[in-house]
Amino acid sequence: MHLPSLRQDAPTPLWLQLKHALRDQITFHLSPGAKIPSESELCRQYGLSRVTVRQAITALVNEGLLGRQQGRGTFVLPRRMSIPPQTQMHFLDDGFEAGGGMIVWLDESALVKPPLWICKRLGISAEERAHKIRLNLADENNEADVLASRTTYIPDHVAPSLQELELTTPVHRILEDNYDLVPTMAEETMRLIHADQLRAEMLRIEPGKPLILVERVVFLANGEPVEYARTYYQAARYRFEHKLVRSEAADEGEQELGNHRHRVGEIEPAPGLGSHGPESSAAE
């Protein structure tokens, strides 16, 4: 791997120069899985201390660009999934669809009686059935490389014969195009969890790895819930970008951020969405 020389007289710290040089190689020249030079090799090449080299590599590891493997070295990680700010997209589009190097494949589809806590989310009785759809978002060059897994429930009375349709299409498009049902509102929560055995198997990772769990309930204009979904993203490969715009209607001196709340710290579960945490339950 050819790296540019570093400027000893530059105001930019040497570790940061090395980080930028390595980042350029990762971004433009190296493929996922490629091994970078060892710390000792970089020390010899640049005449740097091991502390300086390690600082540069650690920064790239923390950014999710590199990963260390005990006894083997440091390797380029697969690219992160990025969910960009929404512009002209449907308000329910969230990046979980084919395109941009990603594919979506159907892992499970069935008409089931959902767990009681999901029935409550959907406003249906324990005896009613719902369509359960599990989709995986993966690298188009390796469908075993699963970045995210989504399990969705749609009441049977909302979308009869749903199983006969192409289920890798986003649910909101299926409802609009095939059932003339137009979702107008959704409640969504996002939180960090750790993968239990079930989620680890879904995402083909080791138990204990951090995941981003996104829960969503989608409603029609009359307030009827028509979809409940739980999406698990590999936290190390997920980036959420959000554009905040001040509303013209905001009072002077008040920052209006729309219907979004940023909550940090010890948070008591709110009634309804996000109040149930069956991360260790196989009944999903």
Top mean-pLDDT range of 92-101, 111-120, 236-245: 111-120
Check pLDDT > 60 for residue 140: yes
Q: What CATH number does the domain containing 40 carry?
A: 1.10.10.10
Tell me: do 201 and 97 sit in the same domain: yes
How remote is the C-alpha of 99 from its chain's centroid?
Answer: 15
| Residues 129, 64 share a domain | no
Q: Does residue 72 or residue 101 have the better pLDDT? A: 72
Choose one of 25, 55, 76: the last residue of a domain: 76
Residue 258 above 80 pLDDT? Answer: no
User: Which of 225, 240, 255 delimits the end of a domain?
Assistant: 240
Structure-token pair, residue 22:
């390595």
Report whether 195 contacts 213 (CB < 8 A).
no
- Domain assignment present for residue 111? The answer is yes
**Do 227 and 193 fall into the same domain?**
yes
Out of 8-17, 30-39, 232-241, the most confident range is: 30-39
End-to-end CA distance of the chain: 47
* pLDDT at residue 173, rounded to an integer: 85
Q: What is the amino acid identity at position 211?
A: L
Query: For residues 192 and 180, what is the distance between their CA atoms, to the nearest angstrom?
Result: 35
Where among 203, 222, 240 does a domain terminate? 240
Where does the pLDDT of residue 113 fall: very low under 50, low under 70, confident under 90, or very high at 90 and above? very high
170 in a structural domain: yes
Does the structure show a pLDDT above 60 at 144? yes
pLDDT winner (highest mean) among 57-66, 185-194, 273-282: 185-194
Q: Distance between CA 183 and CA 47 in Å, rounded?
A: 61
Q: Are 64 and 134 within one domain? A: no
Are 93 and 149 in contact, with CB atoms under 8 Å apart?
A: no
**pLDDT higher than 50, residue 257:** no
Residues 17-26 have pLDDT tens digits of: 898 889 888 8
Interacting residues of 36 by C-beta distance below 8 A, sequence separation 6+: 1, 22, 25, 26, 30, 57, 66, 73, 74, 75, 76
Contact 95, 130 (CB under 8 A): no
Is 273 a member of any domain? no
Looking at the structure, tell me whether residues 120 and 224 fall in a common domain: yes
> Could you tell me the residue range of the domain that residue 108 belongs to?
81-240
Q: Does one domain contain both 66 and 86?
A: no
Confirm if 180 and 122 have CB atoms less than 8 A apart: no
- Is pLDDT above 50 for 266? no
On whether residue 86 sits in a domain, the answer given is yes
The Cα 185–Cα 110 span in angstroms is: 26
Q: Which residues, 6 or more positions from 122, have their beta carbon under 8 angstroms from its beta carbon?
A: 114, 130, 153, 155, 217, 225, 226, 228
Asked if residue 74 lies in contact with residue 36, where contact means CB atoms within 8 angstroms, the answer is yes
- Segment 271-284 shows an average pLDDT of 49
Query: Are residue 59 and residue 141 in the same domain, yes or no?
Result: no
Question: Which of 78, 132, 142 minimizes the C-alpha distance to 107?
Answer: 132
Q: Are 130 and 111 in contact (CB under 8 A)?
A: yes
pLDDT of residue 273: 53
Does 202 fall in a domain?
yes
- Please, which pLDDT band fits residue 60 given cuts at 50, 70 and 90? confident
Q: Does 30 lie in the same domain as 67?
A: yes
Cβ atoms of 92 and 175 within 8 Å: the answer is no
Q: Is residue 270 part of a domain?
A: no
Check whether residue 85 and residue 70 sit in a common domain: no
* Same domain as 112, residue 62: no
Q: What is the pLDDT of residue 53?
A: 92
CATH number of the domain within which 220 lies: 3.40.1410.10
Residue 29 lies in a domain: yes
Closest CA to 57 of 77, 79, 82: 77
* Closest to 214 (Cα-Cα) out of 123, 81, 100: 81
Work out how many domains the chain is built from and give that number: 2
In a domain, 1, yes or no: no
pLDDT band at 264 (very low <50, low <70, confident <90, very high): very low
Average pLDDT of the chain? 80
- Count of helix runs (H) and strand runs (E) in the chain: 6, 10
- For residue 62, pLDDT beyond 80: no
Q: Are residues 25 and 99 in the same domain?
A: no
Statement to judge: residues 126 and 219 lie in one domain: yes
